[in-house]
Amino acid sequence: MGSLHWSDRSVKDINSIFSYISRDSVFYAERFIRSLILHADKLKDLPQIGRIVPEFENVNIREIIFKNYRIIYRTNTPNEVEILSILHSARELRELK
């Protein structure tokens, strides 16, 4: 099993998603975020499961989809994954730093 790290940007993204959903329901916001994190956790065992992000064409920058959100990550080593960003699929992906 590998390691999974969340970048500062991805943590901010999670908090923003939570804030947006919690306007209607804190219960469903918590449930959604918990499910999203569990979905991302599978990257510990299967880091190559995602597709290469078309905007970058870099084999180490990949994404998996959870509902309407893109979980964008980088494979730093075969056993180390870093979540870079989480964004709604309707939004345009900007440069990741």
Please write the tens of the pLDDT for every residue from 9-62. 999 999 999 999 999 999 999 999 999 999 999 999 999 999 999 988 899 999
CA distances from 77 to 2, 38, 94 (A): 9, 21, 24
Return the CATH number at 15.
Answer: 3.30.2310.20
76 close to 82: Cβ distance less than 8 angstroms = yes
Least confident of 37-46, 56-65, 73-82, 87-96: 87-96
Q: What is the pLDDT of residue 5?
A: 96
The verdict on residue 53 lying in a domain is: yes
The verdict on residue 93 lying in a domain is: no
Sign (positive or negative) of CA dihedral 66, 34, 42, 55: positive
Number of domains present in the structure of the chain: 1
The verdict on residue 29 lying in a domain is: yes
Six-digit token pair at 51?
A: 């597709």
2 close to 78: Cβ distance less than 8 angstroms = yes
pLDDT at 93 > cutoff 90: no
Instruction: Please compute the mean of the pLDDT values over residues 64-79 and round it to a whole number.
Output: 93
The verdict on residue 46 lying in a domain is: yes
The one-letter code for the residue type at 71 is I
Range of the domain at 40: 3-88
The verdict on residue 28 lying in a domain is: yes
The verdict on residue 94 lying in a domain is: no
